[in-house]
Amino acid sequence: MHFAVSGVDVFPLIPVIVAFVVSFFTSMGGVSGAFLLLPFQMSVLGFVSPSVSPTNLVYNIVAIPSGVYRYIKEGRMAWPLAWVIIVGTLPGVFIGAVLRIKYLPDPKHFKVFVGCVLLYIGIRLLLDLTKKAARKKAKTNALEDRFKERSSLMRKGITSGAEGTAVIRTVSFSVVRYTYEFYGETFSFNTIGLFTLTFAVGIVGGTYGIGGGAIIAPFLIAVFGLPVYTIAGAALLGTFITSIAGVIFYTVIAPIYADTGLAIAPDWILGALFGVGGFLGMYLGARVQKYVPARAIKLILSVILLSLALRYIAGVFV
């Protein structure tokens, strides 16, 4: 099948299958998988114009709702956290879109940018697996182990009598600080600090075409010390909202750069096919996340990220 906007020729089921596999694993860590689909589109499908970024965002729009639904249904949506991510990321997404078109239209330069982003995310996740990081986050790690054990018992039909404690409950929320409770433990962080971070992440996410969740999630885990079981839903919801804004912005400004000859508007059909696979993969990934060790989720993500990052950066010297 030929996709006119992107110029890609591929069997329609390929995007669906690839997106399903990618999103199944990445959604467990609060990441849509767009950060992996963009390299696939560039390296395998040969889709390297600026249009690939908003096409990736179309994937997010179609795919993410199923994962968000599962987290909301299970009571694991930290709503204040999600809104801080959204409000902080949105302005950055618009700035990132302009930077992508004006300063990174060359595929070679964009691949270097992508490689650096992936390298940073991968290193942050990998460092989070070290013994030093484990000592700093003993409470978080202990909670993740207990939650996993409880989920395993429930899967076998054994209830612990504490199901209600495995939902996120807001203790307090203000402009300065957000505190919530999950499974008997309390977690708190500075909302202003997170807002500042999300603004910077929005710029990178808008440039890359990932919505920002792939960067926010590792930060929430590694820097803020929050459990992966409590941040995944908020990170995905934030990515969903910012992706909608990003696609609209890319579409609106496309005519302004028509004289450049660059494809800027998204390839809606290709993005939707990726989205269908992602929709199914995210639903299943969010459903089984509580049965998978948090350490395994982080390790899988970090290995994939680092391998892709090194490949893109090394490509500059070839």
pLDDT tens-digit profile, the chain (318 residues): 899 888 899 999 999 999 999 888 877 766 778 878 888 998 899 998 889 989 999 998 998 898 888 889 888 899 999 999 999 888 888 888 888 888 888 777 777 877 887 788 788 778 777 766 666 666 666 666 666 666 565 555 555 544 445 788 899 999 899 999 887 788 888 999 889 888 888 888 777 777 666 678 777 877 787 887 788 889 889 889 988 988 998 899 889 887 877 888 899 999 999 999 999 998 888 788 777 776 777 787 788 778 878 877 887 666
- Collapse the DSSP code of 1 into the 3-class scheme (helix H, G, I; strand E, B; otherwise coil) and give the result: coil
Sign of CA dihedral 147, 149, 154, 155: positive
- The residue written with tokens 């010390």 in the block is 225
- 45 lies in some domain: yes
pLDDT, residue 137, reads: 64
Residue 186, SS3 per DSSP: strand
Q: How far apart are CA 60 and CA 276, in angstroms?
A: 10
**What are the φ/ψ torsions at residue 34 (nearest 5 degrees)?**
-60, -30
Is residue 86 domain-resident?
yes
Whether residue 4 is contained in a domain is answered as no
Residue 179's pLDDT is 93
Is 1 a member of any domain? no
Query: Does 2 reside within a domain?
Result: no
Range of the domain at 257: 10-159+167-317
Residue with tokens 């939902």: 167
Q: What is the number of domains present in the chain?
A: 1
| 5 within domain boundaries | no
Q: What pLDDT is attached to residue 197? A: 86
